[in-house]
Structure 1
Amino acid sequence: MTTWATNAWYVAGWDAEIDSAPMARTICGVPMMFYRRLDRSVVAMRDACPHRLLPLSMGLREGDSIRCRYHGLKLGPEGTVEEMPLKNDAPNGRICVETYAVEERHRFVWVWVGDRDKADVALIPDLWPCSADGWTFDGGYYHIAADYRLAIDNLMDLTHETYVHAGSIGQAELMEADIACEVDGERVQLSRWMPGIDAPPFWRGALKKPGPVDRWQICQFLMPSIVMIDVGVAPQGAGASLERHDQGVRGMVIDAMTPESETSHHYYWGMARDFDIDDAGFTARFKAQQGGVFLQDKEVLEAQQSAILANPDLKLAAYRIDEGGVRARQIIARRIRQAEEAAQ
């Protein structure tokens, strides 16, 4: 049994990652290859030549087609053979390679994992701040040698910031503030409100004002593997609340965890923000700082995965602070179970 849901959209890469040269990426256990046609639309196909299974990502681009580097079989962007290895052989229409539905949205390239006939762009997670007017968005990518669900656990429980990210976004008040968890269908929301506190270094610099602040963290899990975190601070007394908080500086941390294997995943991270949106220098500096924060998470998650493998007789414990991640895992498991039942 796999640990990820199918018949769902997963992030395959940033829009800037995928270009004319083939890019290999294993997604949900399937080796895939991506490239852009001359019109810049994205092609996604199985990364294995149907002849001798050499990865097509090693192949040669010819127009919108790909030619295998081993014996020269040429395949069109729809996965059908255009030329056989021997030039005098007519193309065999029965030779083809699997292709996948793709869509570009919110700066990401999404690929549908599952029954292609069920691919529906309306099911792409709504990462609205990444495309909304008055916001700017950028981020990066890490390969993490850990189960993608461990990253979801990490992002749905931000108390770890106190210790893992001390000096940037962590502070003791994270351990003192109460949390509230809500489940709405396949969406989980975990909220934390911290009124009248000193802002941590990053948020103090973003606000550019002295004095106590009200700080919020609202973590949302969206199927199949997205966590979007509404974060920010406002001057104390400005009227900010968990329900409405546009009085200070606000950001939306975007996290997309795409499974690679049972013990590794692709992590696409970034932040959309509604302040200083025209300051390209700040965007670059903040991206570098955020990348450093997430490298700390990468170190922890990979060490955690190693410990899990080294201690097969032990199980993860769940405390009240883990409720968001537990609920998210339950939703993923339910979707997997429903797919298995439907296939029987």
Structure 2
Amino acid sequence: MSTWIDNRWYVAGWDFEVDRAPLARTICGEPVMLYRRLDRQIVAMQDACPHRLLPLSMGIKEGDSIRCRYHGLLIGSDGRAEEMPLRNDPVNRSICVKTYPVVERHRYVWIWIGAAEKADPALIPDFWPCSSDGWTFDGGYNAIACDYRLLIDNLMDLTHETYVHEGSIGQRELMEAPITTHAEGDEIVVTRWMPGIEAPPFWRGALGKDGLVDRWQICRFLPPSNVIIDVGVAPVGAGASVESHDQGVRGFVIDAITPESETSTHYFWGMARNFDVHDTGFTARFKQQQGGVFAEDVEVLEAQQRSILRNPGSKLRAYAIDQGGVKARLVIERLRKAEAAELA
């Protein structure tokens, strides 16, 4: 049994990644091909010709259809055969390729891998800062050779910033600030408030001045595998608090995590912010900096996964700092078992 939940929405790609040319991507163990029709609607179908299973993503686009590059079977955007390999043969409309529900929202292309009849767009995670007035959002992508849950663990425990990101966003105060963890239904929230500290280089540059700041990190796990992190700094005395903190520079780190296989993950990351929203140059520089920070995570996570595979008799241990990740894993396991019981 897989470690993920099938009947949920997962990010398959950024809006700019999916164009007329087929894009091949494995989502939750299933090979998928995505492309846009002429009306810009997105098609998602199984990446295998029903004839001899050559990937359809290797095929030839003809209008909104795709022709298999092996024997020429023509498949329409609805997944059904439109023309047989021998052109004079009558079309067998029972020949079809599995298609998947897709929705574009918050700059992402969301795909539903499970039972299509259960694909309710209302269940798409609420990444509200990515598409709200007064905010701007951009980001990037990493393929990571690790179990997707290791990335969730990483994001729900930001004390690792002290050492993994020492030169950018890390600081010793992260190891000293008290942490609170609580559940809100199926969501897990980890809160850290750090008053009267020096801003790390990343945030000092965003604020544009020196001086002591109040810093916050509020991590929220959203099933099935997403984390959004409310982060920022405000000058001491500006009136910022855990409950209200728009007085300085504030952003939401957006982490859309999609399993590829049991040991590989698609990581769609970004930052939504409510300051300097029209400064496209700052957006590009901020994205580059953020990408550098996440590259440090990739190195650690892939090394961790290799070590797990080399040490099959050892188990991950959980300390006080790991409560956010532990509780997120418990939610995933509970929802996964409930889904399996429903299908039994």
Scaled by the length of structure 2, the TM-score of the pair is: 0.99
1-structure distance, mates of 2:323, 2:211: 33
Give runs of aligned pairs for residues 245-324 of structure 1, distance below 5 A. Answer: 245-324=245-324
* Structure 2 equivalent of residue 153 of structure 1: 153
Report the residue type matching 1:34 in the other structure: L
Report the residue type matching 2:137 in the other structure: F
* Structure 2 equivalent of residue 86 of structure 1: 86
For residues 46-65 of structure 1, give each alpha carbon's deviation from its aligned partner in whole angstroms, at most 9, with x where no partner exists. Answer: 00000000000000110100
Cα shift at 1:210: 2.2
2-structure distance, mates of 1:340, 1:105: 28
Aligned-partner SS, 1:298: helix
* Structure 1 equivalent of residue 106 of structure 2: 106
For residues 152-200 of structure 1, give each alpha carbon's deviation from its aligned partner in whole angstroms, at most 9, with x where no partner exists. Answer: 0000000000000011100000000000001011100000000000000
2-structure distance, mates of 1:257, 1:226: 6
Report the residue type matching 1:285 in the other structure: R
For residues 201-222 of structure 1, give each alpha carbon's deviation from its aligned partner in whole angstroms, at most 9, with x where no partner exists. Answer: 1111111122110000000000
2-structure distance, mates of 1:266, 1:340: 24
Cα shift at 1:333: 0.4
* Structure 2 equivalent of residue 234 of structure 1: 234
Structure 2 gap ranges (5+): none
2-structure distance, mates of 1:210, 1:13: 38
Aligned-partner SS, 2:193: strand
What percentage of aligned pairs have identical amino acids? 70
Give the ranges of 4+ consecutive aligned residues of structure 1 lying more than 3 Å apart after TM superposition.
none
1-structure distance, mates of 2:253, 2:164: 17
Aligned residue-pair number: 344
For residues 243-286 of structure 1, give each alpha carbon's deviation from its aligned partner in whole angstroms, at most 9, with x where no partner exists. Answer: 10000000100001100000001000010011111111111111
2-structure distance, mates of 1:239, 1:179: 21
Scaled by the length of structure 1, the TM-score of the pair is: 0.99
For residues 8-52 of structure 1, give each alpha carbon's deviation from its aligned partner in whole angstroms, at most 9, with x where no partner exists. Answer: 000000000000000000000000000000011100000000000
1-structure distance, mates of 2:321, 2:199: 22
* Structure 1 equivalent of residue 339 of structure 2: 339
Give runs of aligned pairs for residues 68-87 of structure 1, distance below 5 A. Answer: 68-87=68-87
* Structure 1 equivalent of residue 184 of structure 2: 184
1-structure distance, mates of 2:99, 2:86: 24
2-structure distance, mates of 1:92, 1:312: 49
* Structure 2 equivalent of residue 162 of structure 1: 162
Report the residue type matching 1:100 in the other structure: Y
Report the residue type matching 1:10 in the other structure: Y
Structure 1 gap ranges (5+): none
